[in-house]
Amino acid sequence: MHRTREGIALTYSLEGQLERLRIPPPRPPRITARLWQHTCCEIFIARKGLTVYHEFNLAPSGEWAAYAFARYRDGAPLVDEKLDPGIRVRSSEEKLELDAFIRVDRAALSLALAAVVEDEDGALSYWALKHPPGKPDFHHPDAFAAELDEVRN
């Protein structure tokens, strides 16, 4: 992950026996709901010190979704093609990389980075930089473990 003046460039990597995972096949880029029910990458973005945050779901298929939250789990979908993260996927037998670009302003940010991975039997596992105590909850304030400083000219 690295930050530019326009946003955040992300690369998610899955490595190992990919044949044992269900990876969604390529599709035309489009806004799609419920991507977290299958293999997808996620980023949650908040301005430091605020309860307002955004969620982006990024699927290896090229599909994506964005949500705006006023506070913890109080959100609604954002249907705006201008938010398209431009997902690109590279894969081999043992590695899949998903690149995306999220447009954000230059404010200091707190981030939660996560992934949902579906295995060949349909079971889901939940991965994150940090999980709060108890069951996985990517929305929990304690999950926002990464920080990016304000971008100055």
Q: Which domains does the chain have, with CATH numbers?
A: 2-145 (2.60.40.1190)
Region 8-14: mean pLDDT is 98
Region 43-71: mean pLDDT is 97
Answer yes or no: are the C-beta atoms of 60 and 130 closer than 8 Å: no
Q: Record the pTM.
A: 0.95
Name, in order, each residue with C-beta under 8 angstroms of 82's C-beta and a sequence gap of 6 or more.
Answer: none
What percent of the chain stands above pLDDT 70? 100
* Per-residue model confidence as pLDDT tens digits over 71-114: 999 999 998 999 999 999 999 999 999 999 999 999 999 999 99
Please, which pLDDT band fits residue 153 given cuts at 50, 70 and 90? confident
pLDDT in the model for residue 128 = 98
Query: d(Cα 93, Cα 91) in Å, to the nearest integer?
Result: 7
Alpha-carbon separation of residue 137 from 49, 64, 79, 134 (angstroms): 19, 20, 24, 8
Region 13-36: mean pLDDT is 96
What percent of the chain stands above pLDDT 90? 94
Region 102-127: mean pLDDT is 97
